[in-house]
Structure 1
Amino acid sequence: MEKPVDEEENCPVKEFKRAVCEECRENPFKYKCPGCGLRSCSLPCVKVHKERTHCTGKRNRTQFVPLSQFDENWLISDYNMLEEVLRMTESARRSRAGAGDSKTARFMPSGKKALYNQARNRNTNLLLQPKGMSKNKINRSYYDK
């Protein structure tokens, strides 16, 4: 006669709960590090893990993903990364266009132009709000010779 099978012992959920924290090896794990996949149970264990392994805790967004595992979530992640790169390049382009550009100083009122030139002479990077912005209208700074 066969033994009755205990449903709880064969349950995959029970197996999942038995997996322990890889840092302290005492408690069942609750968290999985996106950077390296280490399983941990608490914030102190996460901190010890990051200190010990110098892990950033961030997923490598440029890693290769096989086409069989590529799904909508990976597509959204890739799209967001491309959008972030676009934002950063546009921001860099805008800041370069205004920093040290002689065209920018040409269209300033004489008081602000003198302030801008004196700051540049003192190796100070002075960033002014573009014309039309409310903070530019409020700003009354100028250089008086």
Structure 2
Amino acid sequence: MPETALSPSSLCQQCNGEPRKYRCPKCFMQTCSVSCIQTHKEATGCNGVRDRVGFVAIKEFSDQLLLNDLSFLEEVSQLRGRSNRDNLVTNGHGQKRPSFIKKLQDGCRQPSRMIDLKIMAPGMTKRKMNRSIYDQQKSEVLWTVEIIFGWDGERILRHRVKERSTLEDVVLASIGKDQVRQHRLGRYIDDDSAVFMIAPHASSSPYRRVDRNSTLADAIRSSTVIEYPTIHVARGSEISQFTVTDRLLCVDEVHQGPESSQGSDGGRDSTDQTGSECREHDVIDSDMDNFTIPRLECDPLTR
């Protein structure tokens, strides 16, 4: 049986000797074998990758091309979402900080405060409850403050608390004028032996005892704060449940240098009033996410 002659249009465009079997997705050159494909790529520099946005004539359009286009659009959508998330990465939490949070952190870093404010990832309990802001006009921080009575007793959240407020005033305001609450919690204020403490930022660190007449700004100056300050008030046998630093942070000591504070301590080996010995890396997000508030009462915003 005589062999059928192949037309030039059906031959490999690289060697012109064998029938065409393959078509390059990039330049549509038709070849007969892998060796011809490699030769074509080396000779032309073609990478063999299909141009996913290249023009395709209607007569050449197929169902496969339609599926390819849909797949391409889906990949673009995914890439766009990933790019938006990547652009938000500005710190260890991988989340962008809104401008008001950046202003708050910058205000806390000022020499008059020297507070290392840690902001948690969105969606976490303390992040959602925090309404602290920095008033640039007044150069003042308005804090969200949590007050806890006893070891794990009633918890009250106050918003827009001025940093110049004394701790006693903050606690009094949290109790308010409600007679039931006054009866239940008023003893913590009336008891002169009640201890006011600032909760540590790390579970392994001790609580810092502070003077009830010191301002909130004085109590948390030169310390690390996770979202917002937490004040514990304890009395009687409740105090023994806390690990408290030996030193009482008094109002006068806050405005003195470390040398004068050491002198007034009678040569006693003291713990740094700023709490700088606490390791800020002891706190991780997973720990704080388990931070539950069984009885939370949020007072109206106060200015």
TM bucket normalised to smaller: 0.5 to 0.7
**Matched position secondary structure for 1:61:** coil
Measured after TM superposition, the shift of residue 92 of structure 1 is 1.1
Higher strand share: 2
Higher helix share: 1
Measured after TM superposition, the shift of residue 47 of structure 1 is 1.2
Instruction: Tell me which of the two structures has the higher relative contact order, counting C-alpha pairs closer than 8 angstroms and 6 or more residues apart.
Output: 2
The CA distance in 2 between the partners of 1:72 and 1:44, in whole Å, is 30
From 18, 21, 26, the equivalent of 1:35 is 26
From 281, 285, 292, the equivalent of 1:111 is 281
The ranges of structure 1 where at least 4 consecutive aligned residues each deviate by more than 3 angstroms after the TM superposition are 66-71, 99-103
| RMSD of aligned residue pairs (Cα, Å) | 3.5
The CA distance in 2 between the partners of 1:36 and 1:65, in whole Å, is 12
**Matched position secondary structure for 1:29:** coil
Measured after TM superposition, the shift of residue 53 of structure 1 is 0.7
**Matched position secondary structure for 2:69:** helix
The CA distance in 1 between the partners of 2:80 and 2:20, in whole Å, is 40
Q: Structure 1 unaligned runs (5+)?
A: 1-5, 114-130, 133-145
From 74, 84, 94, the equivalent of 1:83 is 74
Q: May I ask how many residue pairs the two structures share in their alignment?
A: 104
User: 2:133: which partner in 1?
Assistant: none
Measured after TM superposition, the shift of residue 15 of structure 1 is 4.6
The CA distance in 2 between the partners of 1:66 and 1:40, in whole Å, is 22
Q: Structure 2 unaligned runs (5+)?
A: 98-117, 122-201, 203-279, 287-303
Percent identity, aligned pairs only, is 29
Bigger-Rg structure (1/2):
2
The CA distance in 1 between the partners of 2:59 and 2:34, in whole Å, is 33
> 1:1-145 alignment to 2 at 5 Å?
15=6, 19-100=10-91, 101=95, 103=97, 106-107=119-120, 110-111=280-281
Change (3 A) 1:36 1:73: same
**Matched position secondary structure for 1:98:** coil
